[in-house]
Chains A and B, each alone.
Chain A
Amino acid sequence: MSQDAEAAVAEAFTEEWGRIVASLIGRTGNWDLAEDSAQQAFAEAVRRWPRDGVPRAPGAWLTTVARNRATDRLRHERMRSERLREAAPVLSAEKSDEGDELMAEADESGIVDDRLRLIFTCCHPALPLDGRVALTLRTLAGLTTAEIAHAFLVPEATMAKRLVRAKGKITHARIPYRVPSAHRLPERTSGVLAVLYLLFNEGYSASAGSDLIRVDLCREAIRLNQALTELMPAQAEVHGLLALMLFQHSRRRARVDAAGDLVTLEDQDRSLWDREECVAASGHLMLASRGGQVGPYALQAAIAACHANASEAAETDWGEIAALYERLLELMPHPLVRLNHAVAMAMAGGLDEGLGAVDELVAAGELAGYHLLHATRADLLRRLGRREEAGGAYREALKCSPSEAESRYLERRLAETSGRQAIGQDRPRARQG
C-alpha cells in the first residue's frame, strides 16, 4: 500500500511537475514561488497519500494544493507589506495587488498552453545557453539544482548561480511568458529543439560511464520532446528530433560492452536494440516527412532509420545513407556532416572517394584536433591496406585526447595495424555510434 503510494507520487512527479509549475508561473509571474509551491504540494502528497490513499485525479489534487500554497504565501506577503505600510506610511510603494485576484483567474483549459509558454521562455535566445538548459531541467523536468549540477559536472553553487541569473534576467529584462508569434515560431522552435538535443547528447555521451543521472538526461530530453509533439503537432521538426533521439536511444543497451567500452554500430548486437522505440521513432519520422521540406533533424532520423532497418550490419543501405547525407549537407554545410558523408561514401563502395573527402577536410584544417577525423581516416587507410599510414593516423587520433573508452578502442586498432593481421570487419565511425 505504502509502496503503491510512493510509486504514485513518483509517477505524478514525472507527469505533473512541469504542468503545475508552468500554470503557477502563468498565474503569478513568480518563478520561485511556483517552484516552492509545487515542491510543497509533492511533499504533502508524500505525507498524505500513504495514509489517505492516492486521490482519483492525482494531478488535480496536486495542482489544487500547490495553488493553495501559492495563494497562502502571496496573502501572507501582502499582509506583511500592509503591516509595514502601517508602520511606515512612506514605504507604501509595495505591490499588493498580487494574490487572490491573480489566483482567482484560474482556468483549467490554460494549463497545456502554460507548459508551452514555459518552454519558450526557458529556451529564450536572450538567455545564455547553459542557463536555458538548467532552467528547462529545473522548471519543466523538476530536477533539483544538485541533480542538474551533477549532470553537468559543475559544483552545485555554480549551478544555483546560473539558475538565479537566468531567472533574474527573465524578470529584469522582461522576457515574455508566451508562445512567440507565428512568423518567429519556426526559428524559436528550432532554438528549443537545440536545447533538447543538447540535453540528449549530454546524456548520450555519458552513457559509456556508469553515471546514471547523466544517462537520465536522455530520458528527460525524450520526455520533453514528447510533450512538445503533443503541444505542437504540426511542427515537422519537433517530430523529426523525437524520431532521431528515439532511434539513437533504442541502441543504448548495445552501445557499451560489459567492460564499459563503446561498441561501434557495426559490432553491436542488434537483438539488444529496443524495437518498441524504433517503431515509435519510425512513426514520428513519418510525421516529420509529411510536408514537402524535410528538415535537418528528420534527415538525420532517416539516416538512423537506415541503420535500424538493417537486420545485420552488412545489409545496411549505405548508398541511401550517402544520398541522405548529401541532402543534409545542403541544409547544414558543416564539416562534421561532410565527415559522415565521406564515411557513407566509403562504406557504399567508394573507399578512395571517401578517403579523398576526408583528406580534403584535413587539408582545410577543419575539425583540427577532432579525434574522430583522424580515426576515420585511419580506418579508411586500413581498409585500403595502407597499414603504415593507418598507424600514423591512429596515433594522430590518440593525440587529440579522446575519452577513455575511445582511447582504448584506438589503442586496440593501432596494435592491430602495427602487429597482427588487421581484422577488416568493422567500419569507420564518425558519430553514428
Chain B
Amino acid sequence: MKYLMFVCVDKAVELDPEEQAAVGPDAQAWVKEMEGRGVRLQGNELAPVVDATTVRLREGEVVIADGPFAETKEQIAGFDILECADLDEALEVAAKHPVARFGTLEVRPFVEE
C-alpha cells in the first residue's frame, strides 16, 4: 500500500538552536533507515511557498499567479512516498521522522487501482 507523507511545518515557530542543528542529520538518518527497510520509495524537501506558482485554466485561458491561494499557517516543506504493509506501519514510520517533534506529518493513502 502506497502513502504520500506530507511534511508540514509552521514557519512562525522558531526552533531552539539545538533542535535546528539536529533536524538535518536526523532526517538523513531517517531516510537511510526507511530506504533500507524498503519503506521509502522517494521524496524531497520543497522550496518555500514564496517560490510556488499556481496555474489554472479558465475559459480557455491559462491564469498564472504567484504563490498559492490560501495562506495556511502550516506549509508543506517536503514529501515522501512510502510503501507500507498497512496504516499502522505508515504511522510508525511518520512518528520517527524528526519533523514530527515540532511539525505535523500527514499520511494520505494512494487511491488503489
Interface residues of A (CB under 8 A from B): 93, 124, 126, 172-176, 180, 184
Contacts and interface: CB of A to CB of B under 8 A. Distances in A.
B111 A172 contact: yes
Interface stretch (B13-21, B55-63, B85-93): B85-93
A176 B85 CA distance: 9
Contacts of B71: none
9 contacts: A124-B87, A126-B91, A172-B111, A173-B87, A174-B87, A175-B86, A175-B87, A176-B85, A176-B87
A172 B108 CA distance: 9
Contacts of A173: 87, 107, 109
Contacts of B1: 174
B1 to A, nearest CB: 5
Interface string B102-113: 000001010111
Given A126-B91, A180-B88, A174 B109 contact: yes
A175 B85 CA distance: 10
A184 B85 CA distance: 17
Please list the 5 inter-chain residue pairs (A to B) with the smallest Cβ-Cβ separation, ordered nearest first.
A176-B86, A173-B109, A174-B86, A174-B1, A173-B87
A174 B108 CA distance: 11
Give the size category of B's interface with A: 10 to 19
Interface in B62-87: 85-87
A175 B88 CA distance: 7
Contacts of A174: 1, 86-87, 109
B109 A172 contact: yes
A176 B113 contact: no
A94 to B, nearest CB: 12
Contacts of B113: 93
A124 B86 CA distance: 13
* Most chain B beta-carbon neighbours within 10 Å: one of A174, A176, A180: A174
A97 to B, nearest CB: 15
Contacts of A176: 85-88
A174 B91 CA distance: 11
Given A126-B91, A173-B109, A174-B1, 14 more contacts: A126-B87, A172-B109, A172-B111, A173-B87, A174-B87, A174-B109, A175-B86, A175-B87, A175-B88, A176-B85, A176-B86, A176-B87, A176-B88, A180-B88
Contacts of B88: 175-176, 180, 184
A173 B107 CA distance: 9
Contacts of B112: 172
A184 B86 CA distance: 15
A12 B88 CA distance: 34
A29 B109 CA distance: 18
Nearest to A125: B91
B82 to A, nearest CB: 12
A184 B113 CA distance: 31
A365 B38 CA distance: 51
Contacts of A93: 113
A180 B88 CA distance: 9
A113 to B, nearest CB: 17
Nearest to A170: B87
Nearest to B92: A184
A126 B89 CA distance: 13
Contacts of A126: 87, 91
A176 B111 CA distance: 17
A336 B111 CA distance: 44
A127 to B, nearest CB: 10
Contacts of A180: 88
Contacts of B109: 172-174
Contacts of B111: 172
B89 to A, nearest CB: 8
A124 to B, nearest CB: 8
B94 to A, nearest CB: 11
A95 to B, nearest CB: 11
Nearest to A124: B87
Nearest to B107: A173
Contacts of B107: 173
Nearest to B112: A172
Nearest to A180: B88
B3 to A, nearest CB: 8
B51 to A, nearest CB: 31
Contacts of A172: 109, 111-112
Nearest to B111: A172
A176 B91 CA distance: 12
* Most chain B beta-carbon neighbours within 10 Å: one of A93, A126, A173, A176: A173
B86 to A, nearest CB: 4
